[in-house]
A and B are shown apart, each in its own frame.
Chain A
Amino acid sequence: MKYLCLVYSDEKLLHSLPDSPKDEECFAYAASVQNSGRMLAAEALQPIDTATTVRVRAGKTLLTDGPFAETKEQLAGFYLVEAKDLNEAIQLAAGIPAARVGSVEVRPVRQLEV
């Protein structure tokens, strides 16, 4: 099964807490998931200042500056993994270094019925 692990954290604190992971550590973990053959994709994101929200209403494309919702913790990155079940996905998510300072939401991917 595919699971999307959404990494949320308070952007202002993500890199400044004593437990904050360094880029090297994040990279090393991603490499280890890659080597285990369970990685489909993973990226870190630019801060929400760079976000643009797109909506299409009545055929018109509407743009807003900023993220979809103002929340206490912001989406900071994601992992798309292949796991045998939720337990394995949780284990992978728990290894993401940013989980120490933020939260990781684990969501199963839905198969489109076509």
Chain B
Amino acid sequence: MNSRVTAETISALYQQESRRVLATLIRLLGDFELAEEALQEAFACALQQWPVDGLPEQPRAWLVSTGRFKAIDKIRQQQSQRKYQQQWLFEQDEDIEAFQADEPNSQNWQDDELRLIFTCCHPALSTEAQIALTLREICGLTTEQIAKAFLTSPVTIAQRIVRAKNKIRDAAIPYEIPAAEQLPQRLDVVLKVIYLLFNEGYSQSSGDQLLCAELSAQAIRLGYLLLELQPDTETMGLLALLLLQESRRTARIDQQGDLILLADQNRSLWDQALIQQGVQLVERSLTGRRIGPYGLQAAIAALHAESPDATSTDWPQIVALYDLLYRFEASPVVLLNRAVAISMAQGPAVALPLLQALEQGGELSQYHLLDAALADIHQKLGLPQQARFYYQQALNKTSQQAEQRFLQKKLETLS
């Protein structure tokens, strides 16, 4: 045993291990709330005992077993309540051998993190609840931090989390890794949560910039964790996409907080280290079997990241990738992006009828980016009057302040 343990050592250990310990405690105790209390109690004990007794050989195992016994004590104290749970725990007690066989670092313990991820992102929970739970339970953010990031009150977030945990308990959402035939579908839900989490931190231009950056960083961290636990091409693709978008974080907003379009960004501000990681992952994901929408979007982002400016970008290749993407996601937004790429590859006159078809289709009638694209094309074709009309339309359809300022500026340069 090591005899020099300080509060800092324990605090660092908390950062490193608390989520893993929690994940295992949830499995052993069968209850989120109980597991969280047990986790706090275990660390409180560690703070008392470790500086005196020294660091245990396997701190994680020590924390799990301390937490578990604290929880059992607690349940014994509140005997009348939670009858079924108590019974369940004591049944486990009789099976002490099985618990001892459940050794730290065994596959079972490794899998606990994945169990936690799949449970927090269970499709029977609302997307909002999935995101809040993920941030709270997997990333370890406080309710206050989550509320601040989503510009809402801590009470709202706390209620959302409590409701989700109650549903997990009362409807018996299992704490397990989905069976093989369910896995791709369930993995997609997790990927979507990670993507939304990232975007929440990336696309907000108002709000706490530091906290937003933290959300995106958490999403990237989760992506890495998921990739490590459950290697998958689409996870790789998503992670690459996040890294490539993140590489442009500082370049996409000017000092006034206004948006700068990809074509106008100062590319020397792009983070080359992130681009390199992203591009490597794209290359690996493209050789995988489960190529999907995230991998394709990442491949598009990589082509942007690797070109010195907008005009020398490989636009025909980007158009081809959008064609592929449309096979996975037959959405008008993909067609819109494809049309914009075609205007770069073959000129605005070729793209105009494609955009007009989308306008007539009506599915994007409330989507300001279609109007903005139409405005841009008309401007390039030397038709300022139509361009003004569409910029005005776009302006009427967005409530995001940074976008409004951007469109306003475009309108001013036209008049």
Give the complex CA separation of A111 and B172 in angstroms: 13
Could you tell me which residues of chain A, from 24 to 61, have a CB within 8 Å of some CB in chain B?
none
Closest residue of chain A to B84 (Cβ to Cβ) is A111
Which residue on chain B has the smallest CB distance to residue A111?
B84
B108 CB to nearest A CB, Å: 18
Would you call A19 an interface residue if the criterion is a C-beta within 8 Å of the partner chain's C-beta atoms? no
A13 contacts partner chain B, Cβ-Cβ < 8 Å = no
Residues of B contacting A71 with CB < 8 Å? none
The answer to the question of B261 belonging to the interface, with a C-beta cut-off of 8 Å to chain A, is: no
**CB neighbors of A among B174-219 (8 A):** 174, 176, 178, 182
- Chain B residue, CB-CB nearest to A83: B172
Decide yes or no whether A90 CB sits under 8 A from chain B.
yes
A selection of 19 A-B contacts at a CB cut-off of 8 Å is A84-B172, A84-B174, A85-B172, A85-B173, A85-B174, A86-B124, A86-B171, A86-B173, A86-B174, A87-B173, A87-B174, A87-B176, A87-B182, A90-B124, A106-B171, A108-B170, A108-B171, A108-B172, A110-B170
Question: Knowing that A108-B170, A108-B172 are A-B contacts, what are 6 other residue pairs whose CB atoms are under 8 Å apart, sorted by A's residue number?
Answer: A84-B172, A86-B124, A87-B173, A87-B178, A87-B182, A90-B124
- Interface 0/1 of B141-178, CB less than 8 Å to A: 00000000000000000000000000000111110101
Q: Which of A68-114 contact B (CB under 8 A)?
A: 84-87, 90, 106, 108, 110-111
The residue of chain A having its C-beta at the shortest distance from the C-beta of B174 within the complex is A85
The number of chain A residues with a CB under 8 A from chain B is 10
Most chain-A Cβ atoms within 10 A of its Cβ — which of B124, B171, B176? B171
On chain A, the residues within 8 Å of B174 by CB distance are 84-87
Residues in chain A near residue B172, CB distance under 8 A: 1, 84-86, 108
Complex Cα gap A8–B170 (Å): 23
Complex interface: chain A residues within 8 A of B124 (CB): 86, 90
How many Å lie between the Cα of A96 and that of B176 in the bound state?
25
Interfacial chain B residues near A84, Cβ < 8 Å = 172, 174
User: Closest approach, in angstroms, between the C-beta of A88 and any C-beta of chain B?
Assistant: 8
Of chain A, the residue at the smallest CB distance from B173 is A86
> How far is it, in angstroms, between the C-alpha of A110 and the C-alpha of B173 when the chains are bound?
15
Residues of B within 8 A of A106 (CB): 171
CB neighbours of B176 from chain A (8 A) = 87
Q: Residues of A contacting B171 with CB < 8 Å?
A: 86, 106, 108
A22 to B174, CA, bound (A): 34
- With a 10 A CB-CB cut-off, give which of A85, A86, A108, A111 has the most chain B CB atoms: A86
Distance A110 CA – B166 CA, assembled complex (angstroms): 13
Which residues of A lie under 8 Å from residue B84 when comparing CB positions? 111
* In the bound complex, CA of A25 to CA of B176 (Å): 32
Q: How far does the alpha carbon of A106 sit from the alpha carbon of B171 in the complex, in Å?
A: 9
Q: How far is the CA of A106 from the CA of B122 in the complex (A)?
A: 15
A90 to B170, CA, bound (A): 15
- Chain A minimum-CB-distance residue to B182: A87
Cα(A110)–Cα(B169), bound, Å = 12
Q: Which residues of chain B come closer than 8 Å to A87, judged between CB atoms?
A: 173-174, 176, 178, 182
In angstroms, Cα B259 to Cα A50, docked, is 61
